[in-house]
A and B are shown apart, each in its own frame.
Chain A
Amino acid sequence: MLQQVNVNIDGANIRATRGTTVLDAAIEYGICIPHLCHVPYLSSISACRLCIVEHVVNGRSNVTASCTLNVEEGMVILTNTDKIRRLRRNLAELLVAQAPNSRAIQDIALRCGVKEVRYPFRNDDCVLCGRCVQMCTEVWKARAIGFVGRGKERHVDYPFGIRPDFCKQCGSCVQLCPMTIPPCDGPMKPGEEYLCRKCESQLMLADETPDHCVWCKLGESFGCGRYVGIKS
C-alpha cells in the first residue's frame, strides 16, 4: 500500500506518496520549481542544482536540491523566497554562460530571472547535466557513456574515448540533451554569444504568480516534468 505523507510546500498542504521527491510532489501540485537535469522517468543526480528549495527544520532553513529530497511527514518547504530566487538566478546565469548555444538553457535562464550574464561566455556545449548518462545507465543499462575526469576536466565520454560495441547508437542520449535544441536565431558563433530573452513575453503570467506553474512554454524544450508527465 502506498503511504501518504503531509508536506507543506509554500504554505500549501500537500498529500504526497512516501518515496517521491519534493520536486515531483510540487510539480504534480502545480508549484513551479525550475529544473533542468531532472527527467521524470529517470532517477535524479541533482547535477544542475536549479531545483534548490529551502527546507525549514526547527526554524532554520537548509538550502538543498529538491529533486533528491524525499518527502517526509510534516516537512516545510519554501520554493520561492528571495534567497532562493537569488541563488537560482546565479546558478542559471552560470549555466547559460557555460553553454549559451541552446534554447533549453536560454529558456531556463529566462525562467530563473537572468537579466544579464556577468560571467564570460565559455560556449562549452555541455553543462554536465548528466541526462544522457542517466538515460544510458538506467533505461538501456548499457553504460556506454559516463562522466570521465574530475573538476574542470570532467566531461561525458565513452570508455577510453572509443565507442564500445555495446553502444547501439540508439540516440536516446542525444534526444535528452538540452544542447540539441538550437537557439531561435540559429547557433551562436564563438565570441558572439548573448542572452536571448526572446521569450520574455512568456514570463508575464509567471511574474504575476511566481510560485505557480503556468505551463509557461519555457519548459517545453527541455521536457519539464509538467510536459512529460509525472512518474507514477
Chain B
Amino acid sequence: MPSRTLEQILEGRRSQPNQLIEVLQDVQASHGYISEEAMQAVSQGLGVPIMEVYRVASFYTAFRLKPSGKNVLTMCMGTACHVRGARLLMDQATGQLGVKPREVTPDGLFSVDHVNCLGACALGPIVTENGTYHHHMTPSKLRKLIDTLSRQKAED
C-alpha cells in the first residue's frame, strides 16, 4: 500500500516546476516505482510538460519505471567491488533467477539491480537485500541468500 497518496505528495508543491525531482523521489519512496499515471499526475500538478517528467524519470537510474520485486537485490558494481568479482555475483544472481539486470522475476519475488557504488568499498563486494548490506559476498553465499529468501516467501 502506498504510504502517501499522490495528492498528499503534491500538497503545497503545486505549480512549482523546480520541485520535480523531489516529487518524483517521494513518489518512488511511497509507491516503490513511478507509474505512468503518477507521471501524468505530477505533470498536471507541477505544470511541467509530460515529456519533461518522462525525460527526467528515464534519465536517472535511481527512478524505477516498473514495479520492483518483493526482494530487491542490489549489486555494487563500483571499482573496488568490481575488482573483487562483482561481475561473478551478477552472473550468479541473473543466472539463478533467470532475469536480466533491472528486471523482475515472473513470480514477482526478486528483482536484480546494479548501482555504481554503495559507499562501503572496504567491505566489497557488497550486495544489499532490501536495504540490508551483505559484505564480502561470494557467489556461493549469494546463492544461499537467494535460496533462503525464496524459501521464506514460500512459507509466508
Task: Tell me, yes or no, whether A binds B.
Answer: yes
Task: Pick from B39, B52, B53, B58 the residue with the most CB of A within 10 Å.
Answer: B58
What mask results when residues 89 to 122 of chain A are scored 1 for a CB within 8 Å of chain B, else 0? Answer: 0000000000000000000000000000000000
Which residues of the partner chain B approach A148 to less than 8 Å between Cβ atoms?
54-55, 58
Which residues of the partner chain A approach B51 to less than 8 Å between Cβ atoms?
143-146, 158-159
Which residue on chain B has the smallest CB distance to residue A158? B51
Q: How far is the CB of A150 from chain B (nearest CB, A)?
A: 5
Which residues of the partner chain B approach A164 to less than 8 Å between Cβ atoms?
50
Number of contacting residues on A, CB 8 A?
12
Q: How far is the CB of A165 from chain B (nearest CB, A)?
A: 11
A146-166 contacts to B (CB < 8 Å): 146-150, 158-160, 164
Task: Pick from A146, A149, A164 the residue with the most CB of B within 10 Å.
Answer: A146
CA distance A148 to B39 in the complex (A): 14
> Are A143's CB and B49's CB within 8 A?
yes
CA distance A143 to B54 in the complex (A): 11
**B44 interface hit (Cβ, 8 Å):** no
Which residues of the partner chain A approach B52 to less than 8 Å between Cβ atoms?
143, 146
**B7 interface hit (Cβ, 8 Å):** no
CA distance A143 to B60 in the complex (A): 20
A213-227 contacts to B (CB < 8 Å): none
CA distance A164 to B59 in the complex (A): 20
B34-89 contacts to A (CB < 8 Å): 36, 39, 49-55, 58-61
Which residue on chain B has the smallest CB distance to residue A161? B54
> Are B59's CB and A150's CB within 8 A?
yes
CA distance A69 to B155 in the complex (A): 64
> Are A159's CB and B59's CB within 8 A?
no
Which residues of the partner chain A approach B60 to less than 8 Å between Cβ atoms?
150
> Are A159's CB and B61's CB within 8 A?
no
Q: How far is the CB of A39 from chain B (nearest CB, A)?
A: 19
CA distance A24 to B120 in the complex (A): 50
Which residue on chain B has the smallest CB distance to residue A145? B51
Which residues of the partner chain B approach A150 to less than 8 Å between Cβ atoms?
58-61
> Are B59's CB and A149's CB within 8 A?
yes
- Top 9 nearest A-B pairs (CB, nearest first) are A146-B51, A143-B49, A143-B51, A159-B54, A159-B50, A150-B59, A148-B58, A146-B55, A159-B51
- 23 example contacts (A-B, Cβ-Cβ < 8 A) are as follows A143-B50, A143-B52, A144-B51, A145-B51, A146-B51, A146-B52, A146-B54, A146-B55, A147-B55, A148-B54, A148-B55, A148-B58, A149-B58, A150-B58, A150-B59, A150-B60, A159-B39, A159-B51, A159-B53, A159-B54, A160-B36, A160-B54, A164-B50
